[in-house]
Amino acid sequence: MSSLVEKKQSLRNRESMTEKKRSKPAKHSQGGLMLWHGMTVSGVARLLKSGPDIHWSRLHRLLSLPFSGLYNSTFAALESAVYGRRIRETKVEHPPLFVLGYWRSGTTLLQTLLSRDPNLQHLPLYRCLFPWHFLLTEKVVTRLTSPFVPKARPMDNMKVSWDAPQEDDVSLCIMSQVSPCMLLAHPHDFSQFWRSLKFDELPSHELQRWKDSLELLVKKLTYSSPKRIMMKSPFHTFHVSTLLKMYPDARFLYIHRNPYNIFRSSVHLRRRMIEENTLGKVNFEGHEEEVIASYKYGFEVYEKDRQLVPEGRLHEICYEEMEVDPIGALGKAYGALDLPGFDGLASAIEPELDSLRRYKKNEFVDDPYWVDRVYSELKPAFDRFGYDKPKTSDG
């Protein structure tokens, strides 16, 4: 009986913590633009066939999809007619640089810093959301709509613009629907998240659709610029072996952060992205457990796959060290990966150091229950990266 009372009290404490957390971290709006608005008609049909949560309160979101799908299909066909042959014949001379790390481990900060390198190109927001036709529409549409772009991301205070670097997994979700982002349409069904993490269990035609989507995206970016592509997606952390088969000479930058800080921020990330993109009722039940489980699985997969990467092609960065000395941390990375152009990157970053230090991160309330759970479940990662167990006000 006492254990049941303690369990109920623990649940109440966690609910109380959740309410406190939601009052502090950033909550910005996407302005009505959803991830699904980049899909073609066939993509929308595939999304709906997957059985997403649908509720009348989100009917306006659902009704917008046929129109956006028709828009994207039309311009995708036009772009293919104009650029299709040239894209297919494009050769990728410089293998991509992939930024890895679990969600909220500092991948966005690392990507933002790397985007200042004049020798690299990144995937900007417009191209990320409209991967099917950005070669044809980017210049006109971004010029007309830039005043309406939200000023910050939904989950934090990172600035947003049409040119801001984004995760290529959003594009791959739009193009293939093989992505953990599908969780946003199925917040009650975690299998939609997990199926994309385990390529060895994915039907071969779906895996091929994902590969074709990545190859097309890389070729389109290469066609637009010969610079090496810097791609960032926590999703790629689970698929290093597949990326190596597609791009044997690729470089990898893996960033790690205190696993408990990742846990807190990832739970908030899921809340905000579900709220902004779901077609049904919001559902947050069980997401804490899923963050822990997927981090644990991702860490195990990375530890195995990193052994496959040739020497000099993988470097690990500590988020906490990069936060203090970004130029020093990136200098080590460029040296380890034999990447050219570090002096140009350092010169570009130097004037921004003060603004980086003033950046306001989300603040969260620590819960002793979750501190113990995260540390217990993820202790191998704490030990591997040299992090101590977080302290709370309760000791």
Residues 120-144 have a mean pLDDT of 95
Does residue 17 fall inside a structural domain?
no
Q: pTM for this one?
A: 0.87
What is the band of 391 on the pLDDT scale with cuts at 50, 70, 90?
confident
pLDDT value of residue 1: 42
For residue range 18-56, list pLDDT tens digits in order: 433 444 565 545 557 889 999 999 999 999 999 999 999
Does residue 148 fall inside a structural domain?
yes
For residue range 306-349, list pLDDT tens digits in order: 999 999 999 999 999 999 999 999 999 999 999 999 999 999 99
Whether residue 355 is predicted with pLDDT greater than 90 in this model: the reply is: no
Does residue 390 fall inside a structural domain?
no
Q: What is the DSSP letter of 133?
A: T
Whether residue 4 is predicted with pLDDT greater than 60 in this model: the reply is: no
For residue range 221-280, list pLDDT tens digits in order: 999 999 999 999 999 999 999 999 999 999 999 999 999 999 999 998 888 888 889 999
Q: Is 149 helix (H, G, I), strand (E, B) or coil?
A: coil
pLDDT value of residue 268: 87
pLDDT value of residue 361: 54
Residues 149-176 have a mean pLDDT of 79
pLDDT value of residue 239: 97
Does residue 5 fall inside a structural domain?
no
Does residue 393 fall inside a structural domain?
no
Does residue 391 fall inside a structural domain?
no
In contact, 28 and 372? CB cutoff 8 Å: no
Whether residue 392 is predicted with pLDDT greater than 90 in this model: the reply is: no
Whether residue 156 is predicted with pLDDT greater than 80 in this model: the reply is: no
Phi, psi at 165, each rounded to 5°: -65, 140
CATH number at residue 287: 3.40.50.300
pLDDT value of residue 227: 96
Bridge partners of 187, per DSSP, are: none
Whether residue 205 is predicted with pLDDT greater than 90 in this model: the reply is: yes
In contact, 24 and 149? CB cutoff 8 Å: no
Nearest to 102 by CA among 234, 193, 240: 234
Beta-carbon neighbour count of residue 117 at 10 Å?
Answer: 24
pLDDT value of residue 135: 97
For residue range 77-89, list pLDDT tens digits in order: 999 999 999 999 9
**Which DSSP string corresponds to 40-94?**
-HHHHHHHHHT-----GGGHHHHHHHHHHHHHHHHHHHHHHHHHHHHHHT----S
Does residue 47 fall inside a structural domain?
yes
**Which DSSP string corresponds to 156-192?**
S--B--TTSB--HHHHHHHHH--SGGGGGG-TT-THH
Residue 189 lies in domain: 24-385
Beta-carbon neighbour count of residue 204 at 10 Å?
Answer: 7
Does residue 50 fall inside a structural domain?
yes
| Residues 6+ away with beta carbon under 8 Å from 119 | 227, 228, 339, 340, 341, 344, 345
Number of structural domains in the chain: 1
What is the band of 145 on the pLDDT scale with cuts at 50, 70, 90?
confident
